[in-house]
Structure 1
């Protein structure tokens, strides 16, 4: 019997920002003018400014690019699930709030390939997760540059595959996932020294892209099986994305133009009985109007199949009427089915409308809660108390139940919004 399915839409951005700060409006890049919004935004950046002082601050705050994307997406009910950074290489995953409680086993990883693996100026960062019964791995990489260093790019790829591992046994390697999306500045160039930058420019202006793509190094190594042969790529119909003069849509002939910036994917389609997984790409394009880098950003969008009747075990919060400043406050919650608390579980207090899972005000481990007797045969009701210093200012708040185990994170429950304020004291003595 066929299993019921539904589709999730994932929107990808990859852009080498050439150490520049956000200057141009990013709405068009994110397709915000569209009437429908994707379920996920996955944004991979390369060459984000990574001076030592920026890296230290980056341990505690978002970089300017991540902040800029967050400011836009929070107005459309997205939450940043995870950021993973390796020097100038950044991967951000944003999720519609309606899907948060279906996220499981979120994990991030990185691999350095620069200077023989000693330095993080090149390499890969990733975020993997489970949702609606399928596993997805997002990889953002920046590989060795220059026309003549093809062998080094192939070596980078194989190093990433070998060293990039996760803690979840069933998906310990990148290609063990149901869906893999590999984006980034892969830095593959065009073969043939006989082809000058000026020659390439002429062929692009004549829209004879196929003549150039026949020389594309990435397509060559995919066909030979040397690298990226496990993945597929939709047809390229846009001009080379590198190298451009800054503040211009004209090529900079100091380098031969090439398609360095790519979006590839893989589907392990036959892994579940009664369902065939697939990914349908709705578009693949570059954005020439963005001129602050010598690269043009590339975007792509996919509809992927997930398992509609897959049942997550969740936590349900009992309604909270109100919390008070400078008082101990509590909440009761119910764990569904056979789900029981684990040692790494915690509940975070967030401001209503939070735009990142890192934005909790305070948190309490569930082991500190005082348990109430079970109210139903198949569920467990618990209560957890927050100290009188937890709530600091008036406003609307939400609680989030987080399962943190073995290096992974899952979101098991989110409460309805509730008010917090200072209790009015009577002056009567």
Structure 2
């Protein structure tokens, strides 16, 4: 019997929230980021890595490539006291993704890249589309995609087209991981805007939601139906939401705005290629999937999930695994170890690399 050792056993916290162009000013994110002792990580420890995706971030301020968005700064202000460091961020108009990590994981992150795809107005406008961060994480290829797809009940065809456009147009430099689904781990989340099929009224949906008849409603969920037919998102898995539809609320309340039928627009999905390397087993066990009803800033509720990201190998280090998985990845423009040094320099952490 081959004995394996876990070279990575991480708790990763994912969050998606359509913030409706609102500023984070004076908003406490302590509960939202599970910094109040309510994490779902093993032993109730804080996550090893945070990946946060936002949609409808305000673009009124003058864009400054040398300054982070106010949301990133606010997230950082909450996490820095717990010794997290920003790995990278990427913004496409109102779509934003950012990653933070505990210090001890920085040297196990290589080949960090970001990418963006516009899908609004046939690919000319970035109000819809996706942003992503990919990297070698403990030797494995991981990608985190945050997307905002076409809105409204009758735009299902456009949402499907958005998905395929993102899959086709997202391209990276890392050898062996040029596209999203080349990666060993894929996490895809955001305001996917999928609604309910059928002709149930907004009042009927609200009544079913208030009665916690989620299974009944999810049978009409467009995303579930698409995954079953293979038209989109079929390569990804999703734990069934056990929370009320997260859209559309009257801002400042927990009351549905019945101008729209309530729907699970905000979703988190994932994919793992578990046994593609000899003597290596990859897994991403989902530990939680929830909405946070106390946040009433926008007409969407934030949705979060935690995953146990695990890499088991037989007599192999993550450096050796990286050489096997990312051989030849140091192409021009790929951050590689320089990105690790940048993280250290940004936070004045003195470390010999």
Instruction: State the TM-score, normalized to the length of structure 2.
Output: 0.89
Name the counterpart of 1:241: 246
Structure 1 segment 205-354 matched on structure 2, within 5 A: 205-307=210-312, 309-312=316-319
Question: Do the aligned partners of 2:119 and 2:165 also contact (CA within 8 Å) in 1?
Answer: yes
Alpha-carbon distance, 1:163 to partner: 0.6
Alpha-carbon distance, 1:358 to partner: 8.8
Name the counterpart of 1:56: 63
* Structure 2 Cα separation of the partners of residues 107 and 254 of structure 1: 40
Question: Do the aligned partners of 1:24 and 1:290 also contact (CA within 8 Å) in 2?
Answer: no
Unaligned runs of 5+ in 1: 314-341, 351-355, 362-396, 402-412, 414-429
Q: Deviations over 1:187-225 (max 9, x none)?
A: 0000112x1111111111111111111100000101000
Aligned CA distance change for structure 1 residues 109 and 345 (closer, same or farther; 3 Å): closer
1:141 to 147, 150, 155: 147
Name the counterpart of 2:182: 176
1:21 correspondence with 2:7: no
* Structure 2 Cα separation of the partners of residues 304 and 82 of structure 1: 19
Name the counterpart of 1:99: 105
1:357 correspondence with 2:343: yes
Alpha-carbon distance, 1:345 to partner: 8.8
Aligned CA distance change for structure 1 residues 180 and 204 (closer, same or farther; 3 Å): same
Alpha-carbon distance, 1:357 to partner: 2.7
* 1:169 alignment partner, SS class: coil
* 2:77 alignment partner, SS class: helix
* Structure 1 Cα separation of the partners of residues 203 and 345 of structure 2: 50
* Structure 1 Cα separation of the partners of residues 196 and 49 of structure 2: 33
Question: Do the aligned partners of 1:170 and 1:176 also contact (CA within 8 Å) in 2?
Answer: yes
1:41 to 36, 50, 65: 50
Question: Do the aligned partners of 2:55 and 2:96 also contact (CA within 8 Å) in 1?
Answer: yes
Alpha-carbon distance, 1:346 to partner: 8.9
Q: Deviations over 1:327-365 (max 9, x none)?
A: xxxxxxxxxxxxxxx9989989x9xxxxx839649xxxx
* 1:72 alignment partner, SS class: helix
Q: Which has the higher helix share?
A: 2
* Structure 1 Cα separation of the partners of residues 143 and 113 of structure 2: 9
Question: Do the aligned partners of 1:144 and 1:153 also contact (CA within 8 Å) in 2?
Answer: yes
Question: Do the aligned partners of 1:42 and 1:93 also contact (CA within 8 Å) in 2?
Answer: yes
* 2:186 alignment partner, SS class: strand
Alpha-carbon distance, 1:41 to partner: 0.2
Alpha-carbon distance, 1:56 to partner: 2.0
Q: Deviations over 1:174-193 (max 9, x none)?
A: 01111000000000000112
Name the counterpart of 2:35: 32
* 1:312 alignment partner, SS class: helix
* 2:67 alignment partner, SS class: coil
Q: Which has the higher strand share?
A: 1
Q: When the two structures are aligned, how many residues end up with a matched partner?
A: 331
Q: Deviations over 1:262-297 (max 9, x none)?
A: 000000111111122111111000001100100000
Name the counterpart of 2:349: 398
Name the counterpart of 1:8: 10
Unaligned runs of 5+ in 2: 38-43, 321-331
What is the root-mean-square deviation in Å for CA atoms of aligned residues?
2.4
Question: Do the aligned partners of 1:55 and 1:87 also contact (CA within 8 Å) in 2?
Answer: no
Question: Do the aligned partners of 2:344 and 2:351 also contact (CA within 8 Å) in 1?
Answer: no
**Larger deviation: 295-304 or 198-207?**
198-207
Question: Do the aligned partners of 2:192 and 2:265 also contact (CA within 8 Å) in 1?
Answer: yes
Instruction: State the TM-score, normalized to the length of structure 1.
Output: 0.73
Name the counterpart of 1:318: none
* Structure 1 Cα separation of the partners of residues 283 and 190 of structure 2: 22
* 1:258 alignment partner, SS class: coil
